[in-house]
């Protein structure tokens, strides 16, 4: 059985969402053993970023599954999760000045060098572009 051309975007989005989920789970796991030299560093901050990452990746996975089940609404979920994830990686929520010219930033969303978010957006765009005219309506 051949893969339909409109499902390729869902498969690419599923791969990106899975990598994004692994990144979020790794962020929560490493938060348990993380040591930070700043005594005022909020210890719940890595949990917030990890949980937001997991929530967005779950949205992307649900969107991909919806597309694979036949609903074109999944591409909308997939592109929203990807765009919110990219925007969240650019939004710092905490900064720490160590001195000596080093400033550490904590961003709202964890990412694996955008290897996870870009396939989510590219998969959704490909899905919209390759969809049949009857599926778009």
Q: What is the pLDDT of residues 30-60, one digit of tens each?
A: 887 766 666 777 888 889 999 999 999 999 9
The domain tally of the chain equals 1
Residue range 125-136, pLDDT digits in tens: 998 888 766 555
Assess if residue 67 is contained within a domain. yes
Helix (H) / strand (E) containing 4: none
pTM, to two decimals? 0.87
Assess if residue 123 is contained within a domain. yes
Is residue 118 predicted with pLDDT exceeding 80? yes
Closest CA to 86 of 106, 114, 112: 114
Higher pLDDT, 3 or 91: 91
Assess if residue 137 is contained within a domain. no
pLDDT of the residue at 2 = 52
Residues 95 and 108: beta-carbon distance below 8 Å: no
Average pLDDT, the chain: 87
Closest CA to 57 of 93, 90, 33, 27: 27
Residues of the domain holding 20: 5-33+42-132
């Amino acid at each position: 059985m051949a893969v339909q051309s409109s499902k390729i975007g869902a498969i690419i989005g599923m791969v990106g969402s899975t990598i994004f989920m692994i990144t979020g789970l790794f962020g929560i796991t490493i938060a348990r053993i993380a040591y930070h030299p700043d005594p005022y560093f909020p210890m719940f901050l890595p949990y917030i970023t990890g949980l937001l990452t997991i929530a967005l990746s779950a949205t992307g996975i649900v969107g991909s599954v919806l597309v694979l089940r036949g609903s074109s609404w999944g591409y909308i979920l997939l592109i929203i999760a990807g765009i919110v994830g990219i925007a969240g990686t650019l939004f710092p929520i905490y900064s720490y000045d160590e001195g000596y010219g080093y400033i550490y930033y904590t961003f709202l969303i964890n990412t694996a060098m955008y290897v996870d978010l870009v396939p989510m957006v590219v998969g959704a765009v490909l899905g919209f572009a390759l969809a049949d005219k009857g599926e778009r309506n």
